[in-house]
């Protein structure tokens, strides 16, 4: 990055540290923080949407939909995450390529031949000749989708419980006013359920933050991958040889995660206070008394 | 909505250039001097130079991809890349699931490294998961301690988790040389495997022929030996 860094083995002290910390690999490391934050920013709403759909389906009075919603939560929650991240992603990737091959390939041979999966080159997603960026973006997209499915199942269960926790009297009153089922759901049930869902959802958020290292299983290089890679001892084959510094890198990650979860806690606490406002819960009652 | 987005994404991707086919080279990026990620964040090392030269000779456009060692064979079979170039020794077990080109690195010795000369090689020995060395340790009567990356196997010996590490001698040599006498080779080196070759899908016969010819031409004009000497020092085994 700097001119002084042209020959790293001849420099020492602060200059060395400055050059070391701005090497291309470190820049990749810093960018991976953005990757993780972006993943969280996309996954959290996606998982919430999946959860909401799952919970709504589970409450449906139409049996097949209800079974679908409950089955989704039960199956995904029961399968170990690591299996999901190892096998589901490969299956999803192959499934997408198979569907695409039906549309673009001339030869419709069954792609699963023994241990290999073969489709014509035009059906590859992304195409073999696409730039590395597309390969990464695709891997990232698969990651977001997989995280959304896994965490959506947990969120579905939380939201299902929260919907059932809304006092029945509230819904009955709404019905007595002549609201339709849809209106009761939208105007009464959903606005009130969040306060019951929030503790469970905040747990999920904390777990999601810590689950991001699973990204590496999907080929996305996250902060834990880079910390391990940068911290590992380096021989003279590298420009900046150093002993095993993983401890320092992982301490850095520890600080990052602690700050991040602390900030999350503060935000969630505020959100909780806001949602409790005017609710017929202990927290809502406490707020009312404090104000009076 | 999701399907709509997916369809849009697929169209966008398929529209991205119809140039020459690209051969994707998959490596681990954690096994110096064979392959590693250099400080610029790019794949470097012996295999980087060999791979680039082979692609040039075979007139292929190549692109480098890194993948964890554990899942390097399944991802080849799934078509995420076309060639494994990751210091992978040619063995019968691997040959059953994938194909190998002829070797571009001669059959080399594996060795034990420990903190003390009298280390018990039948004790706890560290090796990388799914390597021929791990298989050898498991059969040697020692207690095998597996790690996902080569670097962790060394760290395990340094912090006393394992008595010794068993790995390619060429990988261990620079680490021992730079440890200021802390680490040392113990016991006799062991010959394992049939050299290092490029791994390919069994159905990719055409690509295999091209790469075999390119490797042969590098062997014939001595450029492969020159690269081995550059990265592994003058004592390394050559063709």
Residues of chain B numbered 74-103 and touching chain A (CB < 8 Å): 74-75, 77-80, 82, 97
Kindly tell me if the per-residue pLDDT of B2 is higher than 70: no
What residues does each domain of chain A span? 12-291
Note the pLDDT tens digit of each residue in B202-239.
988 999 999 999 999 999 999 999 999 999 988 888 88
Q: What ipTM does the predicted assembly reach?
A: 0.76
The CATH H-level (homologous superfamily) assignment of domain A12-291 is MetI-like (1.10.3720.10)
How far apart are alpha carbons B213 and B210 in whole angstroms? 5
In order of their start, the domains of chain B are 20-107+194-232 (3.40.190.10), 109-191 (3.40.190.10)
Is A259 at the interface with chain B, CB within 8 A? no
| CB half-sphere exposure, A130, CA atoms < 13 A | 24
Return the H-helix or E-strand segment holding B103: strand B99-105
pLDDT, residue A2, reads 67
Q: Nearest C-alpha of chain B: how many angstroms from A213?
A: 14
pLDDT, residue B14, reads 41
Question: What is the reported pTM?
Answer: 0.81
Q: DSSP class of residue B81?
A: -
Q: Nearest C-alpha of chain B: how many angstroms from A264?
A: 28
Note the pLDDT tens digit of each residue in A232-247.
888 888 888 888 899 9
Query: Is the CB of A25 less than 8 angstroms away from the CB of B10?
Result: no
A112 contacts in chain B (CB < 8 Å): none
CB B24 within 8 A of CB B37: no
Note the pLDDT tens digit of each residue in B152-211.
999 999 999 999 999 999 899 999 988 888 899 998 899 888 899 999 999 889 999 999
CA distances in angstroms from A140 to A215, A277, B88, listed in the order given: 8, 38, 28
């Amino acid at each position: 990055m700097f001119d002084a860094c042209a020959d790293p083995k001849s420099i020492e002290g602060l200059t060395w540290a400055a050059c070391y910390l701005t090497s291309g690999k470190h820049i990749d490391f810093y960018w991976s923080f953005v990757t993780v934050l972006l993943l969280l920013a996309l996954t959290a709403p996606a998982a919430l949407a999946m959860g909401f759909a799952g919970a709504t389906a589970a409450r449906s009075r139409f049996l097949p939909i209800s079974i679908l919603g409950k089955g989704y939560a039960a199956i995904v929650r029961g399968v170990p995450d690591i299996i999901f991240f190892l096998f589901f992603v490969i299956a999803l990737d192959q499934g997408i390529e198979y569907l695409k091959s039906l549309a673009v390939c001339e030869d419709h041979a069954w792609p699963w031949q023994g241990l290999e999966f073969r489709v014509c080159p035009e059906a590859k997603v992304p195409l073999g000749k696409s730039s590395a960026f597309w390969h990464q973006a695709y891997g990232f997209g698969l990651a977001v989708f997989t995280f959304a499915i896994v965490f959506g199942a947990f969120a579905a269960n939380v939201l299902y419980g929260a919907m059932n926790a809304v006092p029945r009297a509230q819904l009955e009153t709404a019905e007595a006013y002549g609201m339709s089922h849809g209106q009761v759901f939208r105007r009464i049930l959903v606005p009130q359920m969040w306060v019951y869902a929030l503790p469970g959802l905040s747990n999920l958020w904390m777990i999601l933050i810590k689950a991001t290292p699973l990204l590496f299983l999907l080929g996305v290089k996250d902060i834990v991958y880079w910390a391990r890679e940068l911290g590992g001892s380096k021989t003279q084959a590298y420009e900046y040889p150093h002993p095993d510094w993983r401890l320092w890198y992982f301490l850095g990650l520890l600080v990052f995660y602690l700050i991040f979860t602390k900030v999350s806690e503060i935000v969630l606490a505020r959100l909780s206070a806001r949602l409790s406002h005017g609710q017929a819960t202990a927290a809502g009652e406490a707020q009312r008394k404090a104000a009076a | 909505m999701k399907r709509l987005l997916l369809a849009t994404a697929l169209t966008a991707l398929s529209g991205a250039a119809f140039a020459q086919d690209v051969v994707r080279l998959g490596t681990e990026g954690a096994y110096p001097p064979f392959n590693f990620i250099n400080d610029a964040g790019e794949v470097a090392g012996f295999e980087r130079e060999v791979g680039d030269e082979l692609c040039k000779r075979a007139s292929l456009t190549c692109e480098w991809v890194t993948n964890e060692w554990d899942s390097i064979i399944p991802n080849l079979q799934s078509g995420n890349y076309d060639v494994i170039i990751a210091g992978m020794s040619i063995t019968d077990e691997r040959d059953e699931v994938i194909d190998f080109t002829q070797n571009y690195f001669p059959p080399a010795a594996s060795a034990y490294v420990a903190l003390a000369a009298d280390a018990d090689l039948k004790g706890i020995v560290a090796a990388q998961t799914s390597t021929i060395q791990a298989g050898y340790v498991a059969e040697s009567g020692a207690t095998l301690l597996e790690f996902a990356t080569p670097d962790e196997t060394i760290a395990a010996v340094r912090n006393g988790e394992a008595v010794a590490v068993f790995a390619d001698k060429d990988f261990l040599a620079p680490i021992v040389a730079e440890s200021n006498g802390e680490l040392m080779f113990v016991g006799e080196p062991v010959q394992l495997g049939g050299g290092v070759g490029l791994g390919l899908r069994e159905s990719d016969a055409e690509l295999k022929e091209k790469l075999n010819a390119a490797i042969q031409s590098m062997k014939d004009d001595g450029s492969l030996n020159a690269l081995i000497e550059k990265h592994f020092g003058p004592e390394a085994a050559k063709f």
